[in-house]
Amino acid sequence: MLSKRAIIGFAIGILILVGGGYSVIDKWINPTIIMNEDFFIEIGKSQSFTIPAPISAPQHMKIIGDAFDLKLQSPGDGLQIPNTSYKKELSLDWVHLKDGETKILIQNTGKSELEITSTTEQSHNPYGFTIDLMVITTGMVIIGFSMGFTLRKPKGF
């Protein structure tokens, strides 16, 4: 007969295992994620962005503000923009021609805040699989301890 604590621990362990398993399967089925983000850069400040993406991933970025400098380096022979000054608005659309990271540096040189809207297709975090394995292991440990409590109750429990 299972004790109440063993059943609760077993249920929690199963939930953790299912969550970790779902995350692993989701990353295997969908190797990229679509990010819709909005950023703001204060007057005189600069911001750098790194977009890790696979080959053929479409990217879009729209920058609205008084004046700003932009430098963009896309992997391989992709879009390359040396440090260039812009006024008012800039809309960028590009595709990754090679697996890798696009690096963007934006400096606000105007008299108003910069508004950046981006829609990017990115690769998952490379450490995500390791984190998922840690979650699955945690679920297994919880189940193991719970089942151990059914064999004999340790002192203090």
pLDDT cut 70: percent of the chain above it: 94
**Concatenated DSSP letters of 6-57:** HHHHHHHHHHHHHHHHHHHHHHHH--EEEEEEEEEE-TT-EEEEEEEE-TT-
Query: Which residues are 105's β-sheet partners?
Result: 48, 71
The share of the chain scoring above pLDDT 90, in percent, equals 9
How far apart CA 6 and CA 143 sit, in angstroms, is 8
Residue 149 CA to residue 33 CA, distance in Å, equals: 42
The least confident of 28-32, 66-70, 134-138 is 28-32
Query: Is residue 155 over pLDDT 80?
Result: no
Q: What is the pLDDT of residue 153?
A: 63
**What's the mean pLDDT when you consider all of the chain?**
83
- Please write the tens of the pLDDT for every residue from 43-91: 888 888 888 888 888 888 898 888 899 898 888 787 788 888 888 888 8
Q: Where are the alpha helices (DSSP H) in 63-114?
A: none
Q: Record the pTM.
A: 0.62
Question: Residue-wise over 61-96: b if at least 16 C-beta within 10 A, else e?
Answer: bebebeebebbbebbeebbeeeeeebeeebeeebeb
Mean pLDDT computed over 109-136: 83
C-alpha to C-alpha distance for 135 and 65, rounded to whole angstroms: 43
Phi then psi for 109, rounded to 5 degrees?
Answer: -110, 5
Taking 80 as the threshold, does the pLDDT of residue 124 lie above it? no
Model confidence pLDDT, tens digit, residues 82-107: 888 888 888 888 888 888 888 989 89
